[in-house]
Amino acid sequence: MRIYGFTPARFGTLFMVMPAVACALLVTRLHAESEGLVKSEAITNTLISFGTAADHLAAADSLVSSGETEKAITTYRFIAKTYPKSKEAPEAQFKLAKQLNNKGALDSAFKEYETLLKKYPQTPNFEESVADQINIANAYLKGLKVKFLGIPMVPSMEKAEEMYTSILKVSPYSKHAAITQFNLGLALQKQGKAQEAIAAYQKVLDKYPNSPACDSAAYQVGYVYQQLGMTGKSQDLSALKQAQNNYQDFLLQYPNSEKVQQAGENMKSMFSKESADTLRVARFYDFNKDFKASSIYYNDVIRRFPQTEEATAAKSRLDELKALYGEDALRVGQERPENGERLAERRRLQAQVESAALANYDGPPKKDIVPEEAPPLPQPKMKGDLRDTQPIPLQEPPSQTPPQRTPLSP
């Protein structure tokens, strides 16, 4: 059947083309209005059915003044979405984030601030927006609980870490960047990520050397190392040594910091722990009758921590051991020291042997010079094959102590 020259096939084609054309015209219209090219008619807002972007912005501000926050938020969002290229869009985006922040919708506010900073980096509200983002992240750092389906669940340091990282990525040159970097270190530290936290604090010192946060960052580097050493998570005392070195650097570079007193107290605490640990090792060897090894650690306590209670205890025990066994029994080495007579004899024999090596020597044979009590050492046998070669086992020298047991001093 034909209707004025149209066939059913042509009707179908027409029905398919018309929606596409209509959509294209609508998109073109929206783009033109967003660019400010069309002034006669504005897109209708369900709450405010009149005016341009500027009119909508003024109406949203009036809603805020009258306490109608939700309607204001809807209107600000409408402006930002509908007129993204207008001069009112950055202000609407900022006020949208601000109202969300004021009502406690922190996650949504943070994202809207992030949208503002990405789309409109030239906004005059740039630094204020970054500051608000930092405050939101700080709330999570202080223990704010993450919500699930609107219900607060558990505090999340990971959320704070994620937010600080995002701020630094979007706003690396903000005047608040050093504070953000420092707080990122705190978030990592609270999660037990010690090495990552140290790296974050060190970045404050390297990238923002003139920031007021530098003294706090330098202190925290030493403190994280101290925590590693004091909690026993490190394999040796290297963490405590690193802490001491960093505290010393901190005291030299920031003598007027408010953390100076605390750094000094922390160093005393570490010295006390290290001296106690060393004394504990000495007593372990003492208990097992290895008095030479114990004397090494007792002397180490006395030398390194002279003003401590541990040093007093170590000296007292050393005096007891010397009184019981003599100093030779505590001396490290395989032989006892030579007395004056034996030392003089050894030097005389050495001089004679050296003289016998001269070309014009006219005296007794060398074999007659060396006494029988000091026979020459046997020559080592040559190894004929690599299979004959074995590692030399370590051997402890025999202990020169009497067999009786000695009670430990209390």
- Bridge partners, residue 151, by sequence: 148
Residue with tokens 């001396």: 331
Q: What is the pLDDT of residues 133-167, one digit of tens each?
A: 999 999 999 988 776 666 666 568 899 999 999 99
What's the 3-state SS for 128-164?
HHHHHHHHHHHHHHCCCEEEECCEEEEECHHHHHHHH
pLDDT band at 174 (very low <50, low <70, confident <90, very high): very high
Give the total number of structural domains in the chain. 2
In-domain check, residue 100: yes
**What pLDDT sits at residue 342?**
61
**What pLDDT sits at residue 175?**
93
**What pLDDT sits at residue 37?**
45
In-domain check, residue 250: no
Q: What is the pLDDT of residues 323-368, one digit of tens each?
A: 888 887 777 765 455 555 665 666 566 565 555 555 555 555 545 5
In-domain check, residue 77: yes
Amino acid letter, residue 336: R
Question: Rounded mean pLDDT of 50-77?
Answer: 91
**What pLDDT sits at residue 152?**
61
What is d(CA 30, CA 22) in angstroms, rounded to the nearest whole number?
12
Contact 153, 147 (CB under 8 A): yes
Q: What is the pLDDT of residues 290-334, one digit of tens each?
A: 888 888 888 888 888 888 888 899 899 888 888 888 887 777 765
**Axis-axis angle for helices 89-102, 53-65 (nearest 10):** 20
Contact 109, 100 (CB under 8 A): yes
pLDDT mean across residues, the chain: 77
**What pLDDT sits at residue 48?**
59
Q: Over pLDDT 90: what percentage of the chain?
A: 43
What is d(CA 311, CA 65) in angstroms, rounded to the nearest whole number?
72
In-domain check, residue 192: no
Measured in degrees and rounded to the nearest 5, phi and psi for residue 333 equal 135, 165
Question: Rounded mean pLDDT of 69-90?
Answer: 93
- Where among 60, 80, 115 does a domain terminate? 115
Nearest residue to 27 (alpha-carbon basis) of 47, 45, 43, 50? 43
In-domain check, residue 46: yes
In-domain check, residue 213: no
- Where among 68, 95, 115 does a domain terminate? 115
Over 50: is that where the pLDDT of 122 sits? yes
What is d(CA 16, CA 8) in angstroms, rounded to the nearest whole number?
13
pLDDT band at 3 (very low <50, low <70, confident <90, very high): very low
Contact 95, 76 (CB under 8 A): yes
Question: Rounded mean pLDDT of 241-251?
Answer: 92
On the 0-12 / 13-18 / 19+ scale of CB atoms within 10 A, 15 is exposed
**What pLDDT sits at residue 63?**
93
CB atoms within 10 A of CB 34: 18
DSSP-derived 3-state class of residue 6: strand
Q: Over pLDDT 70: what percentage of the chain?
A: 65
- For residue 97 the two structure tokens come to 């984030």
In-domain check, residue 352: no
Nearest residue to 198 (alpha-carbon basis) of 220, 171, 169, 230? 220
Nearest residue to 56 (alpha-carbon basis) of 79, 84, 39? 79
Of the listed ranges 149-163, 197-211, 252-266, the one predicted with least confidence: 149-163
- Where among 115, 146, 170 does a domain terminate? 115
Give residues with Cβ within 8 angstroms of 129, minimum separation 6: 94, 97, 113, 116, 117, 123
Task: Write the CATH number for 50.
Answer: 1.25.40
Cα torsion at 293, 299, 303, 308 (round to 10°)?
110
Give residues with Cβ within 8 angstroms of 178, minimum separation 6: 204, 207, 208, 211, 212, 213, 214
Q: What is the pLDDT of residues 377-407, one digit of tens each?
A: 454 444 444 344 334 343 444 444 554 544 4
Distances (CA, A) of 101 to 29, 56, 129, 138, 408: 33, 21, 11, 13, 67
Amino acid letter, residue 353: V
The boundaries of the domain holding residue 100 are: 41-115
In-domain check, residue 109: yes
**What pLDDT sits at residue 136?**
95
DSSP-derived 3-state class of residue 3: strand
Contact 208, 181 (CB under 8 A): yes
> How many residues make up the chain in this entry?
410
Whole-model pTM?
A: 0.63
**What pLDDT sits at residue 260?**
93
